Amino acid sequence: MDYEQSFTQYEQDALVAIGVATSAEMLEQARIEFLGKKQGRLKDLQSVLGTVPVDQKPIVGKRFNEIKERVTAAWEQKQLTLKAPKKAAGSELDVTLPGAALALGKLHPLTQTIEEFKDIMARLGFESEEGPEVEDEWHNFVALNIPEDHPARNPLDNFYLSVASTVNQEARLLRSQTSTVQIRTMERRKPPVRIVSVGRVYRPDQIDATHHMMFHQMEGLMVGPDVTMASLKTVLQLFAAAYLGESVPVRFRPSFFPFTEPSVEFDVRRGNSWLELGGAGMVDPNVLSACGYDPEAVSGFAFGLGIARFCMMRHGIDDIRHFYENELRFLQQF
């Protein structure tokens, strides 16, 4: 008689029957069949024990007891599981599972870009300043050396909210550029200053892939005893390298702005073409004077960059309108 084989077979069958039991009735059936005292598989096994030669009895008996204990333990464990109160479907909490992360919202790609811009500029020593989006003509034009007859002041090219009248002392408009914050900063603070200001600007442009009537700019201003064009080029070059990568080629082209002299346009190379990312220059002495600074004692540079353009360039976004349409399939990619 091969005791070992009968033992193994018994244990295997018993554990399977207990394992598959899904109700108290099935488990009771398994108990009767495998652990019943009067009859059943255990009883059969026990009767076999009687035929074991005396010298082998202690070993085979021990083996029998071990197996019986294991099957009994498995049965008791299963009984506890089946008795455990059933929870409502879906409410089971398995604390051993790894945390299931909720899909959190994300920052808008432009917000991410703005944060990164401020961060880069902070590392270059530029503090962040804010200015209002509703402006007067002094801050949006006059102090910036933009004369009354300048085309930029055409009411059709601006969002005027009110005109000067006996009721309104001053005309109000949505700012058309963040250069307003240069003026506000210099009016409030003594030199030296080193600031950036990020925000929305508004122009009644025809909306297309590269234009919107509302967009974001970053204005930069640095004024001190010996700020030069070399300082400007260095800062813009470092900025472009930090955001677009060390090797990005940059170019400065002569240009004109009423508030800077000399003025440049700032381009970055993309593939085979140069992309214009903003304007810059040395702050015009008239602007310094308008803010109460002495143009003989200090000089400064300023720049204004289109934020969306940088973000579009880095991510290969082909249309500025994507930023303002709140299309989740677009936003979720950032």
Residues interacting with ligand DAH, by CB under 6 A? 177, 179, 219, 257, 259-260, 278-281, 302-304
Q: 323 — phi, psi (to 5°)? A: -65, -25
Residue 70 to residue 273: CA distance in whole angstroms:
78
CB 186 → ligand DAH: shortest distance, Å? 12
- Strand-pair partners of 279: 265, 304
Residue 30 or 114 having the CB closest to ligand DAH: 114
Residue 260 or 299 having the CB closest to ligand DAH: 260
CB 272 → ligand DAH: shortest distance, Å? 25
Residue 177 or 185 having the CB closest to ligand DAH: 177
∠ at Cα 143 (139, 145), nearest 5°? 125
Residue 75 or 141 having the CB closest to ligand DAH: 141
57-83 helix and 3-20 helix, angle to the nearest 10 degrees: 0
Residue 313 to residue 266: CA distance in whole angstroms:
14
DSSP three-state, residue 43: helix
Residue 219 or 267 having the CB closest to ligand DAH: 219
188: Cβ contacts below 8 Å, ≥ 6 apart: none
189-226 CB burial, b ≥16 within 10 A, e <16: eebebbbbbbbebbbeeeeeeeebeebbbbbbbbbeee
CB 287 → ligand DAH: shortest distance, Å? 9
CB 302 → ligand DAH: shortest distance, Å? 3
Residue 243 or 257 having the CB closest to ligand DAH: 257
CB 260 → ligand DAH: shortest distance, Å? 4
CB 269 → ligand DAH: shortest distance, Å? 20
25: Cβ contacts below 8 Å, ≥ 6 apart: none
CB 105 → ligand DAH: shortest distance, Å? 31
Residue 11 or 219 having the CB closest to ligand DAH: 219
∠ at Cα 127 (121, 129), nearest 5°? 115
DSSP three-state, residue 269: strand
Q: Which amino acid is it at 166?
A: T
Residue 297 to residue 279: CA distance in whole angstroms:
25
Residue 201 or 317 having the CB closest to ligand DAH: 201
Q: 320 — phi, psi (to 5°)? A: -65, -25
CB 125 → ligand DAH: shortest distance, Å? 18
